[in-house]
Amino acid sequence: KAGVTQTPRYLIKTRGQQVTLSCSPISGHRSVSWYQQTPGQGLQFLFEYFSETQRNKGNFPGRFSGRQFSNSRSEMNVSTLELGDSALYLCASSSTSGGTNEQYFGPGTRLTVT
Amino acid sequence: AQRVTQPEKLLSVFKGAPVELKCNYSYSGSPELFWYVQYSRQRLQLLLRHISRESIKGFTADLNKGETSFHLKKPFAQEEDSAMYYCALRTSNFGNEKLTFGTGTRLTIIP
């Protein structure tokens, strides 16, 4: 089985811009979770989509949003970028919702905001 | 609020010596705990979960509800155990479920 893929792998944006990141889960997985990883805060849960619906949500502002398509691919959008949004964004796919079953992580998208 | 604490950012252990990576959690509900590992230049992956009660790559972890701990242990460290280890807690709050990760411990095995 092909693993979780994320595009792009690296991205540089300017403060105030918006960005869209993409995640393709393992075939057959319907859950996609997004995480932000920074040296200071570690791994923080953003949100989870399951069967095109946002099921669970972390404590991030509304500038962070996402969606999931019928083929389970998911996108994450960050609007009005701030310097503090610079991070590695990881997505993880799973066969079930809520983190009970193993989550398979992608390689991440490294976002740098200047 | 739920929290996962990994008190050691860095841990160095000699090959063949026992390893213990500490994890403490704070959660009012019934906890489900996991250990994830990230080897150099590889993706984050599940190592083990408490409900499985299994040993993976020689590692075990026992959930101690009294001490709210889920420490990861291995009796004899091997060089290939060098990696970043994350403890994670699954919580459910009014139907909102998520994994909360600790900040991680970088384990280095000294040959």
Mutation choice for B interface testing from A23, A41, A43, A88 by most B CBs within 10 A: A43
- Give the chain A residue nearest B49 (alpha carbons): A102
What lies within 8 Å, CB to CB, of A21 at 6+ separation is A6, A7, A8, A11, A75, A76, A77, A78, A89, A91, A109, A111
- Residues of A with CB below 8 A from B46's CB? 102-103
Bridging pattern class, strands B60-61 and B72-74: antiparallel
- Residues of A with CB below 8 A from B104's CB? 42-43
DSSP-derived secondary structure letter, B20: E
Instruction: Give the E-state strand segments of B1-111 in sequence order.
Output: 3-5, 10-14, 19-21, 24-26, 32-38, 45-49, 60-61, 72-74, 83-93, 96-101, 105-110
Q: Which residue has the tokens 């991030």?
A: A60
CB contact under 8 A, B98 and A99: yes
Segment (H or E) for A42: strand A42-50
- Residues of B with CB below 8 A from A48's CB? 97-98
- The C-alpha of A16 sits at a distance from chain B's nearest C-alpha, in angstroms, of 29
Question: A6-61 pLDDT, tens per residue?
Answer: 999 999 999 999 999 999 999 999 999 999 999 888 899 999 999 999 999 999 99
Question: B80-105 pLDDT, tens per residue?
Answer: 999 999 999 998 888 888 889 999 99
Q: Cβ of A73: how many Cβ atoms within 10 Å? A: 15
State yes or no: pLDDT of B110 exceeds 90.
yes
